[in-house]
Amino acid sequence: MKTNAGHFFEDFHVGQVIDHATPRTITEGDRALYGAIYPTRFALPSSAEFAASVGLAAHPVEELVGFHVAFGKTVPDVSLNAVANLGYAECRFHVPVVPGDTLRTRSEVIGVKENSNGRTGVVWVRSTATNQRGEVVVDWARWVMVHKRDAGAPAPATVVPDLAPAVAAADLVVPAGLDLTAYDTVAAGEPHRLGDYEVGERIDHVDGVTLTDAEHMMATRLWQNTAKVHFDTGARPDGTRLVYGGHVISLARALSFNGLANAQLVAAINAGAHVAPAFAGDTVHAWSEVLDQTELDAPGVGALRLRLVATKGRDESMTLRGDDRKYAPGVLLDLDYWALIPR
Amino acid sequence: MKTNAGHFFEDFHVGQVIDHATPRTITEGDRALYGAIYPTRFALPSSAEFAASVGLAAHPVEELVGFHVAFGKTVPDVSLNAVANLGYAECRFHVPVVPGDTLRTRSEVIGVKENSNGRTGVVWVRSTATNQRGEVVVDWARWVMVHKRDAGAPAPATVVPDLAPAVAAADLVVPAGLDLTAYDTVAAGEPHRLGDYEVGERIDHVDGVTLTDAEHMMATRLWQNTAKVHFDTGARPDGTRLVYGGHVISLARALSFNGLANAQLVAAINAGAHVAPAFAGDTVHAWSEVLDQTELDAPGVGALRLRLVATKGRDESMTLRGDDRKYAPGVLLDLDYWALIPR
Amino acid sequence: MKTNAGHFFEDFHVGQVIDHATPRTITEGDRALYGAIYPTRFALPSSAEFAASVGLAAHPVEELVGFHVAFGKTVPDVSLNAVANLGYAECRFHVPVVPGDTLRTRSEVIGVKENSNGRTGVVWVRSTATNQRGEVVVDWARWVMVHKRDAGAPAPATVVPDLAPAVAAADLVVPAGLDLTAYDTVAAGEPHRLGDYEVGERIDHVDGVTLTDAEHMMATRLWQNTAKVHFDTGARPDGTRLVYGGHVISLARALSFNGLANAQLVAAINAGAHVAPAFAGDTVHAWSEVLDQTELDAPGVGALRLRLVATKGRDESMTLRGDDRKYAPGVLLDLDYWALIPR
């Protein structure tokens, strides 16, 4: 059989390294499509002049472009037979991605744990994307629940990796040259700087976008993500096409411009949960909560730790969880990340 | 509150200057997306070789790309709370936009007039988009009806600007270097030159395009236009997504290739009315009327003043208005513009 | 009348040469859109680094991008009044297309044959697309059934060209510099080389894509293909938009990555039949049959002759024709082509 059947749980072992196909060159076409599919307006990826004005040597695309491309490469090897994408941790953005860069991704299996049902198991991988110079662009850990090929196969020794609940502020990478001391808030669209945000503050990003199948499929293909459920109405019993979770992340991040216009760069993703599936016809809104804030050791640069919540329909009460500690109805995404912002 | 609530009528005063966020760099990705979303085939923006053959130093994107990007920037500040976009005037295209250019837009309020109902008012703004060298790319006046925040706020002194009914031919800007003396009509697709068109002539552009939500949303996002009604099915009582008026302009202009293939460059927009809303499922056709024609002081260059009419469904009778002087049923757009064409 | 009514059967005569409008410059935006619309992952067009690693001086776009652009130019002149697109033959890809190249297409009429009904006829054309240096990019023959303008017009002398059933392996063009001796199968995604495929072998490419109107229209516009039936729900009695046959070709070719990841370059199209129409909502799957294989006179380069079959719904039995020799239900496309692959 020449086609890829994906890996099953018993195909993974701790220490295994997988070099993922296929390398992909980022272009200005990706920037344009990202801006056509998501309502992003962050000044730095929008404007080469703005990027130069804050000290960057070239004009990076949004960090999530690099993340999605890097992530997409892991799907055929890691999650083609996944039951669920369980979580992310320790995701850091290193060297910015600029048009002309070619990304490839390598993963190492860092944990395995068979489930008590004997039919599935959890696999932890740490993935690292590098550019054509071998520089790390982004790395992250994620864990997925994967089917066993054979329920009778013996369970491996359980290894559960020790993952940090959040990237420490001291571990955030500031792009080389970034200097926000002469930051232009007028061009950026809002006056709010690091010190204007308080821990615990919540921001309703107001706007909503109703999903279409054509748009989420185009985005997901752009990242060379091959999971059938996003493209083939025959892949799910109800004939719906499941929206790639990363589509909701990018959409919510773009919507967060309205209130967080100066949170220009994503520096790290601490944790993320795709709480509920999204489909064409759903209208996605977003709100954010400020979890932490800190100054960084780069001129004019601070960082906000934010919880970004995407919801189906607008929730002006911005409720994450009900009294039962379960996610409130309508919550689609709960993402914990660090963004760089001018002090 | 950190999010943008937009300006209300009483926030505008004559002489007020607004620098709009966010600067945006135009790329080859924008050209490709424009060609994917609109059936444009004008040889000059389609072909770098053709552009060079008519004397241009670089390969411009269509003028409407610059217009939409420049216009989109004004939406969050000028028309987020607009009831209606009432009109355009005195729009001139100056320096062509080429990939790599970064556009920003500044507006000045040039008129205000409270409506007799005391709840809304009309605001006139003149907007100017410049590139990274500070050269003017496009400027225009428009007027919008905007909600008052507080019906009890006192009415300002009425100032109604004096706007020209059309840009004078002598004020049209011909791009530096443009020389149409060796113009290749075979490559361009049609033999008709300036002298082949008669004032009063009407041209049925024949072809139609049925709108989809995915396409108009992608276009509108590309221009960073944030008006909710285009994206969120919850923003209008009937659950439809209103198509951005500029989408209809670009679609009609692209359809006009069939009969006006040599009307290569848009030089000015004299006036424009979005007569009726358009929605996914509508099939847009277009026809043009020649309003005026003139030779310009550049080698081989002439100009046609055209009325471009977009209709829902094809109207082979090309009727603009009924006996009652009202727009005929089905008319979506009535746009009066100048295009450059070989003599 | 200034608009293009297309050519009718009696407008064609053997030896007639048509220079098609409009030249079109290929950009990185086209590459990105191709990747957003089709689930392509072939390493060579995906990665500039991979292209360089196999000896190419620049980073070509997929061969089908050039084909679709070149083909689209012929539609207004050749097939605007076509009843049916009957076949392709002798299509060869010569110089690769890289961003910045400008393509134009010229056709010569090589055959005419009036049908016995007196109302239609078949026209054979050989079309050649060249780049801005005058180098041939792709050439092909195709034949279409075209309406007569006037059923009473006399029938021309019948000329039926002699077209090869397949491009001979010796006539395949290998791009200058291509050297697959150091080919990286890990980056490419699969280990299978020329010798791993057997004549007669069939490969089920597994994955499916459900079509949307927005996507096929965007693709078809990108190629400046103007046939009404793809865009206007009023053009067909049942209100459907017919999917451009080339969209199904590109989709099936992209799906064939899964099992043919190393069939990196399309070198020739021997024959092609659009067996049944496709519409939004259809789910397209694909399978391939190995028809022939050969080594070529370039380092490490071989060629596979493949039958690529697109189907509506997945056919795991991979049945091309029933016992009656007619195409099996569900077959959309039967394409016979040569691809270059490492030995």
Q: Considering only alpha carbons, which residue of chain A is nearest residue B228?
A: A207
C-alpha distances (whole Å) from B59 to each of A29, B45, B53, C25, C134 are 17, 7, 11, 10, 20
Give domain status of residue B55, yes or no. no
So what's the pLDDT on residue A81? 82
- How far is it, in rounded angstroms, from Cα A121 to Cα A119? 7
Helices (H), chain A: 28-37, 43-46, 48-53, 63-74, 185-188, 213-222, 245-255, 257-260
**Whether the predicted pLDDT of A82 surpasses 90:** no
Contact A49 B22 (CB under 8 A): no
- How far is it, in rounded angstroms, from Cα A291 to Cα A308? 10
A136 and A205 assigned to the same domain: no
Chains contacting A (3+ CB pairs below 8 angstroms): B, C
So what's the pLDDT on residue C45? 98
Angle in degrees, 0-180, between the axes of helices B63-74 and B213-222, rounded to the nearest 10: 80
C121 and C200 assigned to the same domain: no
3-state SS, C270-300, equals EEEEECCCCCCCCEEEEEEEEEEEEECCCCC
Query: Which of A129, A163, A197 marks a domain boundary?
Result: A163
Structural domain of B311:
164-343
- The first and second tokens of residue C87, run together, are 């076949």
Nearest-by-Cβ selection for C31 from A22, A29, A218: A29
Query: Which of A135, A163, A191 marks a domain boundary?
Result: A163
Give domain status of residue A31, yes or no. no
Model confidence pLDDT, tens digit, residues B290-338: 999 999 999 999 999 999 999 999 999 999 999 999 999 999 999 999 9
Q: Considering only alpha carbons, which residue of chain C is nearest residue A216?
A: C36
Q: Which of residues 172-231 of A touch B (CB under 8 A)?
A: 186-190, 192, 196, 203-210, 212-215
Give domain status of residue B200, yes or no. yes
Contact C25 B49 (CB under 8 A): yes
How confident is the prediction for chain C on average, in pLDDT? 97
B287 and B150 assigned to the same domain: no
Nearest-by-Cβ selection for B187 from C23, C29, C33: C23
- Neighbour tally for B259: CB within 10 Å: 24
Contact B41 C30 (CB under 8 A): no
How confident is the prediction for chain A on average, in pLDDT? 97
Model confidence pLDDT, tens digit, residues C281-316: 999 999 999 999 999 999 999 999 999 999 999 999
C215 and C340 assigned to the same domain: yes
**3 state DSSP class of C24:** strand
Q: Which of B222, B283, B290, B315 to mutate to test the interface with C (most CBs of C within 10 A)?
A: B283
Helix-then-strand count for chain B, H and E = 8, 12
Contact C207 A30 (CB under 8 A): no
Q: Which distant-in-sequence residues (6+ apart) come within 8 Å of A86 by Cβ?
A: A122, A142, A143, A144, A145
Q: Considering only alpha carbons, which residue of chain C is nearest residue B218?
A: C214
- C258 part of contact set with chain A, CB < 8 Å: yes
Q: How far apart are the first and last CA of chain B?
A: 57
Identify the CA nearest to C92 among candidates C8, C189, C5, C168: C168
A31 to chain B: which residues are within 8 Å by CB?
27, 29
B197 and B304 assigned to the same domain: yes
Give domain status of residue A35, yes or no. no
Say what percent of chain A tops pLDDT 70: 100
B319 and B179 assigned to the same domain: yes
Contact A48 B102 (CB under 8 A): yes
pLDDT grade, residue C81 (50/70/90)?
confident
Between chain A and chain C, the number of residue pairs with CB atoms below 8 A apart is 132
Contact C102 B48 (CB under 8 A): yes
Contact C36 A33 (CB under 8 A): yes
Chains contacting C (3+ CB pairs below 8 angstroms): A, B
- How far is it, in rounded angstroms, from Cα A56 to Cα A98? 11
Give domain status of residue B33, yes or no. no
Model confidence pLDDT, tens digit, residues A109-130: 999 999 999 999 999 999 999 9
Contact B2 A259 (CB under 8 A): yes
| φ, ψ for residue B70, nearest 5 deg | -65, -40
**Whether the predicted pLDDT of B84 surpasses 90:** no
Give domain status of residue C22, yes or no. yes
So what's the pLDDT on residue B1? 86
Model confidence pLDDT, tens digit, residues B56-68: 999 999 999 999 9
Smallest Cα distance from B132 to chain A, Å:
7
A11 and A82 assigned to the same domain: yes
A180 and A294 assigned to the same domain: yes
B148 and B296 assigned to the same domain: no
**Whether the predicted pLDDT of A80 surpasses 90:** no
Number of domains in chain A: 2
**3 state DSSP class of C45:** helix
Model confidence pLDDT, tens digit, residues A168-207: 999 999 999 999 999 999 999 999 999 999 999 999 999 9
What ipTM did this prediction achieve? 0.96
pLDDT grade, residue B138 (50/70/90)?
very high
Nearest-by-Cβ selection for A32 from C32, C186, C258: C32
A110 and A187 assigned to the same domain: no
CATH code: domain of residue B125: 3.10.129.10
pLDDT grade, residue A84 (50/70/90)?
confident
Give domain status of residue B50, yes or no. no
Query: Which of A163, A187, A216 marks a domain boundary?
Result: A163
C207 to chain A: which residues are within 8 Å by CB?
226, 228, 231-232
Identify the CA nearest to A299 among candidates A58, A92, A55: A55
Q: Which of residues 34-53 of B touch C (CB under 8 A)?
A: 35-39, 41-43, 46-50
Q: Which of A221, A222, A224 to mutate to test the interface with C (most CBs of C within 10 A)?
A: A221
Q: Which of A3, A130, A228 to mutate to test the interface with C (most CBs of C within 10 A)?
A: A3
Give domain status of residue A52, yes or no. no
- How far is it, in rounded angstroms, from Cα B255 to Cα A308? 42
Contact C226 B39 (CB under 8 A): yes
Kind of pairing, strands B120-130 and C265-274?
A: unpaired
So what's the pLDDT on residue B85? 87
C35 to chain A: which residues are within 8 Å by CB?
221-222, 224
B80 and B228 assigned to the same domain: no
B182 and B271 assigned to the same domain: yes
Q: Considering only alpha carbons, which residue of chain A is nearest residue B213?
A: A212
Contact B192 C2 (CB under 8 A): yes
For C235: left if phi > 0, alpha if psi spans -120 to 50, otherwise beta; the answer is alpha
Model confidence pLDDT, tens digit, residues A280-325: 999 999 999 999 999 999 999 999 999 999 999 999 999 999 999 9
